[in-house]
Every structure is written in C-alpha cells, then in structure tokens.
Structure 1
Amino acid sequence: MGNAGAADKAKNNASRAVWLKNLHQWHWISSALCLLGMFLFAITGITLNHAGQIEAKPAITRQKATLPAPLVTQLAAYAAQHDGANAPMPTAAETWLKQQWALNVGGRPAEWSVDEVYLPLPKAGGDAWVRIGLEDGAAEYELTDRGWVSWLNDVHKGRNTGVAWSWFIDIFAGACIVFCLTGLLILKFHAANRPFTWPMVGLGILIPCAIALLFIH
C-alpha cells in the first residue's frame, strides 16, 4: 500500500508539474503579447478618466478652392439623382480632393442635396469635413486636430480608428482573457502554500463591486 500511495503521489505531482508548466508558458506568452497594449490602455484609462481636467487646444486648419466647371456640372447631375441620400462621391471628385488637399476619401459616404455636398471625415484625435457648393463650385475643407491626448483617448475607445485597429482590440482582449485565466489557475495551484491568496483575490473583486453598488447611481 505504501508503494502504491507513493506511486500515486508521484503521478499527481508529475501531472501538477505538467499543468503548471503549461500554465506558466501560456501566462508569459499572453503577458508578453499584452505588455505594451496593457500599458497604453492603462495610461489612456487615466487620461479618459480625467478628460475634463486635461485641457485640449484644438488646432483648426481651413482651406478653400474652386472646382473646375465640368466637375461641378457632373456633381450637380449626380446630386439631382441622390438628393437627400448618403452616397460616395464620383471618382473624379475623389481624385480632385486627393490632388487638391491630399485627401484619401476612399469611398466614404457623403451627404447629398441639390445645392451642396457635405463629406464628413472623422478621425482619431480630431475631425475633418469637406463642403462643396454645387452652384458656384466653391469647396471648403476644415481639419481639427485636438492633440495627442485626444488621439490616444480615441485609440482607447476604438473611435474612428478603422478596421485593423478594431481587430487588434478584439485579439488583444482575447490575449488578456488568457492572461487572466492562466493567472487565476496558477494562483489556485499555489494557494495551498500561500494563505493570503484567496483573500487578496476576494478583495480585488469586492472593492470594485462595492464602489459600483454604493457610488454609481
């Protein structure tokens, strides 16, 4: 019986060692992948939380130009067909905007009416728009830059950051979940020799829950 018990114990210890090895491996891999992202999201969490106290001085740039007459005629005809609709600009208009103001419109929908076309160009950390009058061909372009703090805040929220960043946030969130779950299981393995493990975990759960229940209304 003694030999059988020792064999079972050795088997359990070996199984425990394998589990711990795998958990530590996934934990350090996920932590390495998440390191920069966690740091940036933590910093921008602070800037978002104090957005009202961090002064932003927007830099506004305005430019004006006049479209060629043939292009105005083309846009006016296009507007008559799309009055009140949201539709991309014709290729010729997109090409003109790229040549005139280095704008890559990329098929973004514009707001059309018979007398003007308005193209919103929201961006992380700022805003931009183009308005073209269809009677005289007068074009206006305005760019607002709210600074790097606003840019980081928008990156944190995934606001006007594009599809690639949206995918990054999803993958980063998945890696964070792996990091947290492997950390929890590692705590479970070490809890027997560290009596303060579960009280500390419980405290980490209790504090935000208590604050939310007592102070968020």
Structure 2
Amino acid sequence: MPSVNPSETKNLPRKKSRKWRNWWVKQLHTWHWISAAISLAAMLFFAVTGITLNHAASISANPVVRDTSGQLSPALLATLTAKSDDAPLPAPIAAAVRGAVGLDASGKPGEWSDSEVYVALPRPGGDAWVSIDRASGKITSEVTDRGWISYLNDLHKGRNSGSAWFWFIDVFAAACILFTVTGLFLLQVHARHRPSTWPVVLAGIALPVVLALLFIH
C-alpha cells in the first residue's frame, strides 16, 4: 500500500481553495468583458448625450414646423364616433389619416369633443398632432422637428421613444450593473498589488456625495 506524504495531505485544502478562487476570478473576468461588450456602444451614447443634455441651454435649435391637411370621405366621417373620451381613432379612419397626412395615429388615445377629435403624437426630438373636424371631416396635422441633438437627448431620457427602447434601456442598465459589480470584485482581487485601489474608489464615491451636500440646494 503506497504511503501518503503528510505534507501533501496538509496542503490539499489549500490547493482546493486556490482552485476555487481561480475559478471565481475567471468567471468574474468573463462576465466583466461580456457586460462591457454589451454595454460599450450604449454607454458611449449615454455619456455623450449626458454632455449635450447638461449643456442643452447653450445648444441652439431651430425647430422646423410642417403643416399638412387632408379630407375624410363622407362615408368615413359618418363612422367617426367614440365609445369613451380617450378612445383611439377607428382603424379605417386611422388608415385614412395616415394616407392623407403621413402620420400614424392608430392605437393612440384621442381627445374627443363635439367639434373635433385631437390626437397627440409626441416623438423623440419633436412633436406632432392630428385634428379631425367632426362636422366637415377636414384633417389638420402639424409636425415639429427640433433637430438631431434634441432627438438624441430625448432617447437618453426615454421620452416618447416606445416600448422597444424602454426595454433596451432596462437591458443596458442591467449590463452596466453587472459590469460595475464584477469590476468591484476584480478590484478586490487585485487590490493587494495596487495600494491606491480603495482610496481611489472611496474618492469616486465621496465626490458626488460632497457635491450634492454642499452645492445642490
């Protein structure tokens, strides 16, 4: 029966511990670069638009307004009725509006009165609306374009950007959280060889707190 070296038996838990630690460090590195790759472009976008938002007052914009009009047929006008105060336009009328003025009002809540139906169509970087005269069937619309910087700023805020962009922001935020948390653990792993690690981290935490307490009222 082969003899067992006592020193090898003694070092076995240490080897297992080192192997387990190396596995976790490898996982941290993997998820850190994956989350970085996922969030890279969006992080750059939100950083740049953060600057443009911060200087929005000094960035001039010249809104471009476009007015368009059209006409509902008598047959469609007769179907212009609402079941509730914020009901959307009936599908055939929404299709007619799209064909007449190029705006898609389908599914959007309308403001119904005795004289007209008004549908607000806000969008990133601008605004739009459609109004239908309930007596004559005249379609009136207006589209306002505030430029591409306003468009990007509104995407940054998630303003009137739809459900797809809403979920994109959530996924991007989750990737950023994963990137930050794995980065924090990697800092802890390498901190023993980099004495300035925790002072720099604490400075990064303290700076916004001090600014908020002293200069924001």
Q: TM-score range by the shorter chain?
A: over 0.9
- 1:42 aligned to which of 35, 42, 47: 47
How far apart, in 2, do the equivalents of 1:4 and 1:194 lie?
A: 33
CA offset at residue 3 of structure 1? 4.5
Percentage identity across paired residues of the two chains: 48
User: 2:211 maps to what in 1?
Assistant: 211
Q: TM-score, normalised by structure 2?
A: 0.92
How far apart, in 1, do the equivalents of 2:91 and 2:21 lie?
A: 64
Given the alignment of the two structures, is residue 144 of structure 1 paired with residue 149 of structure 2, yes or no?
A: no
Tell me how many residue pairs correspond in the alignment.
212
User: 1:100 maps to what in 2?
Assistant: 100
CA offset at residue 141 of structure 1? 0.7
How far apart, in 2, do the equivalents of 1:15 and 1:89 lie?
A: 62
Q: What RMSD, in angstroms, separates the aligned Cα atoms of the two structures?
A: 1.5
- 2:60 aligned to which of 55, 61, 81: 55
How far apart, in 2, do the equivalents of 1:191 and 1:6 lie?
A: 25
How far apart, in 1, do the equivalents of 2:90 and 2:211 lie?
A: 54
Deviates more, 1:8-17 or 1:132-141: 8-17
Instruction: Give the aligned residue type for 1:181.
Output: V
Instruction: Give the aligned residue type for 1:20.
Output: V
Offset from partner CA, 1:78-135 (integer Å, 9 cap, x none): 15x64xx111111221111121123222311110011111010111111000111112
Given the alignment of the two structures, is residue 23 of structure 1 paired with residue 32 of structure 2, yes or no?
A: no
Instruction: Give the aligned residue type for 2:196.
Output: F
CA offset at residue 74 of structure 1? 2.5
Q: Could you say if the C-alpha distance between residues 197 and 4 of structure 1 is closer, same or farther in structure 2, counting changes exceeding 3 Å?
A: farther
User: 2:135 maps to what in 1?
Assistant: 135
Q: Structure 2: state its 5+ residue gaps.
A: 1-5
How far apart, in 1, do the equivalents of 2:190 and 2:149 lie?
A: 41
Give the SS at the match of 2:107. coil
Instruction: Give the aligned residue type for 1:119.
Output: V
Give the SS at the match of 1:132. strand
Q: Could you say if the C-alpha distance between residues 5 and 205 of structure 1 is closer, same or farther in structure 2, counting changes exceeding 3 Å?
A: farther
How far apart, in 2, do the equivalents of 1:213 and 1:71 lie?
A: 61
User: 2:115 maps to what in 1?
Assistant: 115
CA offset at residue 181 of structure 1? 0.4
| Larger relative contact order (Cα-Cα within 8 Å, sequence gap ≥ 6) | 1
How far apart, in 2, do the equivalents of 1:140 and 1:19 lie?
A: 63
User: 2:190 maps to what in 1?
Assistant: 190
Q: TM-score, normalised by structure 1?
A: 0.92
Q: Structure 1: state its 5+ residue gaps.
A: none
